[in-house]
Chain A
Amino acid sequence: MHAEPILKVENVVKKFGEVTALDGVSINVNRGEIVCFLGPSGCGKTTLLRVIGGFYEQEAGDVTLDGALINGIPPEKRDTVMFFQNYALFPHMTVYENVTYGLRVRRVPREAMKKQAGEILALIQLDGMEDRFPNQLSGGQQQRVALARALILNPKLLLLDEPLSNLDAKLRSYMREEIIKIRENLNLTIIFVTHDQEEAMSIADKIAVMRCGLIEQIGRPVDIYRYPESTYVANFVGSANFLKATVTGSDQSGSVEIDTHMGSLKMTAPRKEYSTGAKVVAVIRPESIGVSFEDSSNSSKSLKGEILRGSYLGSQMIYTIRVREETITVNLSDPGEEQIKKAGDTVYLTLPEYIHLIDAAKAGEFFD
């Protein structure tokens, strides 16, 4: 079903002196996709983007764009365009000159150039500003000029380095919409870098979570959120309860029995089979746990706990709850007044039916 991916990155290694910024990274990007590199600062996102753009040359590994190997080809000869974190608008050129720079380099005839520039400026609502200099524009307008300058070249791949991080909240959501709209209109393939998981989730078709120069997991936002392959990924894309556990029984239907500090639990973990005795970590998102303040013992899965702490955030209530030897966090959305309890009160928790288990090997910090 998949056509040949437009970009293939295979085992790319990039070093800066002693520092290994990329340590064997592989990723495929399909035509028309928005892919996001997500990870904490310093994990190598910019470096990977710059290797793809041709600004850095990798020490090892291959980069293939649209079927052609592009190792060592300089940026001016690659059909990719980068959108720089600081926009990199030419301060000595007008908006029009900035936007048409790439066309002038390509010796596009004046009339055609004018037409294209008009279209692109209209698309991002900058018509009428052609003769201004960048320092006469607001931050948001500058950003749009930079975007127009990249889009006009109709690149095979648009590379965006933290495009939203310098913006205030309002502009940020506006730009987010803009990027999605542009993708739909121009059918572009976009790679963008961010350290903000929410941003990644809301825009990307596919997220690559990075850690220390490696891609830890690639998948759709829902895969990353619901089925993280490691505690690192689970942690990075949201808060989670990690229950250290041992598998005590499992069957074909996906039902597993695990032994935790909260006692023995019987749940469904449909993704994989587990052998008895395997060490695992169960991932339970705080918002997936049901809370009640009366003992509705009709559910066999109801667990009794004691509130250690509660914080009221308006849209939700966050409780830290002790259940036997385990401490877990629970989010209660849209809490009513009667649901705001104090420390020491008793609560009854209902765990979700489905659970995601991570192998001990991918949860280093829990098993030393």
Chain B
Amino acid sequence: MVQSSQAVPAVAKRKRSYFARKPLQSFLALAIGVMLVLFIVIPILFVLVRSFGGADGFTLDYYRNFFARPYYYRALINSLTLATTVTSILVVFCFMYAYIVARLPRGIIATAMRSIAMLPLLAPPFIFSISLITLGGRRGLISQVLANLFGIEFSIYGWTGVILAQCIGLFPLGFMMLENVLRSMDLNLEEASADMGAGQWRTLWSVTIPLMMPGIMKAALLVFIKSIADFATPMVIGRGLPFLATDAYLLVVGQHNMEMAAVLATFLIMPTMLIFFVQNYVLKDKARTTIGGQAGGTARIKMNPLMKGLFILCSFISALFIVSAFGVVFWSAFVVIPGVNNTFTLAHFSTRTGVQALVTSLKIATSAAFFIAFVAMIQAYLNLRLKVPGSKIKEYLALFGMGVPGTVIGIGFILTFNQQPFKLTGTMFIIVMAIMCQYLGVSLEAGISKLHQIGPSMEEASWDMGASKAMTFFRVVLPLMGSSFLYGLIFTFMSAMTTISAVIFLVYPGTTLAAVYILQVAEQGAIARAAAMSVVLITIVALSLFILNRFTARTHLSRL
């Protein structure tokens, strides 16, 4: 840049206009801050306070009750057992699956395998219980075969069903995290290990897995929280087993026992708090970066046949479960009674309440997606480029909201917004806020990492060539952030269409959402109707995903 002496006043002027624009920034920053406090911090505080008696004065009675009643105590143990089991299974299987996918040459097989792993994202996670019931319920296909051939009484209800259904539903989460970690690994390290004589098992144990440990931990912790937070699966297929999230929900809806619900919610939120601590203090110090010059190599060492066989077998089993779970949902939706009367029918699709619920879901998901994606981009920019004070705290809050079980958010919202001055229950707005609370973090992270990746040099280049700051923002920054905006949009839309745990507390009879409706129908045993509704929901989500993908590809945003 050639700085002539005349340019100096121009710079000074630019500085002044920056100050002149500051009110807008401050306003935006403040508005987002208030929103986060009001809809994340306050509801959670309300839950904590209520568990100690709330307005009636401090008491430990409810906690005493919790431990005195074996039923609730049992719920705690069950939830922990469930989460531990599901996490262990998923870490192992997702690792093998991700390993195969990440090491496969790019091509149709890798793409297909990745798509299958992500499939469960298209549906509310509890619908896999519906498939499991169709297959393994009292009159299910597999149960009948077992009964007729071997005289074995088999029922999927209970532990088996809950664990299996959660494993399928949470598979994408574990898979995505581990695949990411595997892809960012420096292949040269594994090659170096092999080169020095280590066999592939040895390399896996002493190089690959230790290096991936932070990522594996993170994936495990995320799966763990999501498993504990899932109240719907046990409701459909757990038949009577007590679990924290399920019982917290039932306490609110059935008995209106807000205090005990708050105690359960407090236990539910503890893993999140713990994870937050672990993530930010324990793992941070151990962050390991690649040593030396450039990263990576593209080499592919042939996998040893035994290892390859085992990994492929396990991946195949996982894929089989996911695909058949989906297949069964579709099949149950289109036949009279699955396995009994396999005549094609569309009868299950005729439900007016269902259609209404879908329309409401679409409205809410669309508004939530745009609102959240916009807020995220603005906050990311405020955070990284304008360095508005307090941005870091807001980022932490958004991330924290992501980890809080929906049940806790739902209960918190009821406690906070069911009375004046914030009587908001029964409005679409409050549902959008509940979704914001749970999913803003994802879009925000996407925006922030995109901005990190772009680096300020392009903006500087733009100023250097004489563009104003405003022009730079619109011409350079926004287009560059486009891909992360779209990502936020898609992700939030999908999540909003399929989310259930928080919003179920906030819907009113007139405003039921599709996912909530499916759960209610399934719980009443109308499996076919639930399946039909799921098919419609899956189709809509898949379709919107497809359209957005096309759009992204065509506008070259995908390459950013």
Contacts and interface: CB of A to CB of B under 8 A. Distances in A.
Are A and B bound to each other? yes
Contacts of B191: 55, 75, 82, 84, 88
B195 interface: yes
A227 interface: no
A101 interface: yes
Given A55-B191, A82-B191, A166-B293, A101 B198 contact: yes
Interface stretch (B2-10, B268-276, B294-302): B294-302
Given A55-B299, A87-B292, A146-B292, 13 more contacts: A74-B301, A74-B302, A75-B194, A75-B195, A82-B192, A86-B292, A88-B292, A101-B193, A101-B196, A102-B197, A105-B196, A105-B197, A149-B192
Nearest to A87: B292
B119 to A, nearest CB: 29
B301 A55 contact: yes
A74 B291 contact: no
Contacts of A55: 191, 195, 299, 301
A288 B194 CA distance: 49
Contacts of A53: 195
B385 interface: no
Interface string B176-195: 00000000001011011111
A52 B302 CA distance: 15
B291 A89 contact: yes
A138 to B, nearest CB: 11
Contacts of B199: 76
Contacts of B297: 84
Interface centre among A88, A106, A139, A146 (most CB of B within 10 A): A88
Interface in A324-341: none
Nearest to B213: A92
B290 interface: yes
B320 to A, nearest CB: 31
B291 A87 contact: yes
A239 interface: no
Contacts of B290: 86, 91
Contacts of A80: 195
B424 interface: no
Given A91-B288, A101-B198, A86 B294 contact: yes
A53 B297 CA distance: 14
Interface in B149-208: 186, 188-189, 191-200, 202, 206-207
B188 A86 contact: yes
Interface string B197-229: 111101000110011000000000000000000
23 contacts: A50-B299, A76-B198, A76-B199, A82-B191, A82-B195, A85-B293, A86-B291, A86-B292, A86-B295, A87-B293, A90-B189, A90-B207, A92-B210, A102-B198, A105-B198, A135-B288, A135-B289, A142-B291, A142-B292, A146-B292, A150-B196, A153-B196, A153-B197
Contacts of A134: 291-292
B197 A106 contact: yes
A92 B288 contact: yes
Interface string A176-219: 00000000000000000000000000000000000000000000
A232 interface: no
A57 interface: yes
B521 to A, nearest CB: 51
Given A55-B299, A90-B189, A85 B294 contact: yes
Contacts of B195: 53-55, 75-76, 80-82
Interface residues of A, number: 35
Interface residues of B, number: 32
B302 A81 contact: no
Contacts of A166: 292-293
Contacts of B211: 90-92
Interface in B511-557: none
A45 B290 CA distance: 24
Interface centre among B196, B199, B202, B295 (most CB of A within 10 A): B196
Query: What are the 10 closest A-B residue pairs judged by CB atoms, nearest first?
Result: A102-B196, A87-B292, A88-B188, A88-B192, A86-B292, A86-B293, A134-B291, A166-B293, A75-B194, A105-B197
A92 B200 CA distance: 18
A47 to B, nearest CB: 10
Nearest to B210: A92
A84 B301 contact: no
Nearest to A159: B195
B188 A149 contact: no
Contacts of B207: 90
A74 B189 CA distance: 16
B186 A88 contact: yes
Given A50-B299, A86-B292, A142-B292, A76 B194 contact: yes
Nearest to A97: B206
B246 to A, nearest CB: 41
A150 B292 CA distance: 16
Interface string B288-323: 111111111101011010000000000000000000
Interface string A150-184: 10010000000000001000000000000000000
Nearest to B296: A86
A194 to B, nearest CB: 15
A134 B192 CA distance: 15
Nearest to B294: A86
